[in-house]
Amino acid sequence: AQKVTQAQTEISVVEKEDVTLDCVYETRDTTYYLFWYKQPPSGELVFLIRRNSFDEQNEISGRYSWNFQKSTSSFNFTITASQVVDSAVYFCALRQTGANNLFFGTGTRLTVIP
């Protein structure tokens, strides 16, 4: 069985604040892949990052950073110095080895207030 939990349904922050979006997953596989996608108001899902289960190195890309911890089955996403353009729904997703598709969490709606 697989499950992705994004407990935060909605978050509001003031511009320039840092914000962390939580993602907790469940899987019985030892090999799997984790993803984050951004869905702005236009509706398109924009790929942000892919991480495989063997690579626990944290990653930073500009104002974005990801913290992958297998011990707690978490793959959290932090936006530093948030901007209004960061306002969107963010989805965490899991793909098990041999699975044909991504299994998504329910998403976190982030609103950045100017």
Partner 1 sequence: GAGVSQSPSNKVTEKGKDVELRCDPISGHTALYWYRQSLGQGLEFLIYFQGNSAPDKSGLPSDRFSAERTGGSVSTLTIQRTQQEDSAVYLCASSFNGHGTGNTIYFGEGSWLTVV
| Cβ 3 to partner 1 shortest distance, Å | 12
C-alpha to C-alpha distance for 58 and 56, rounded to whole angstroms: 6
Rg (CA), the chain: 14
Contact 27, 2 (CB under 8 A): yes
Within 8 A by CB and 6+ apart from 82, the residues are: 13, 15, 16, 17, 18, 19, 63, 110, 112
Residue among 15 and 47 whose Cβ is closer to partner 1: 47
Q: CB of 23: closest distance to partner 1 in angstroms?
A: 13
- Among residues 82 and 90, whose Cβ is nearest to partner 1? 90
52 lies in the site for partner 1, by CB under 8 A: yes
Size of the site for partner 1 (CB under 8 A): 24
**Cβ at position 9, least distance to partner 1 in Å:** 10
